[in-house]
Amino acid sequence: MIRKALGHLISCKEATRLVSRGEDARLSFLQRALLRLHLAACAACARFEQQIRLLRMAMHRYRE
The per-residue pLDDT for range 19-51, each reduced to its tens digit, is 999 989 999 999 999 999 999 999 999 999 999
Give burial (CB, 10 Å; 0-12/13-18/19+) of 64.
Answer: exposed
Total domain count for the chain? 1
Range of the domain at 40: 2-63
List the end-to-end C-alpha distance of the chain, in Å, as a whole number: 45
Q: How confident is the model at residue 63 (pLDDT cuts 50, 70, 90)?
A: confident
Q: What is the model's pTM?
A: 0.80
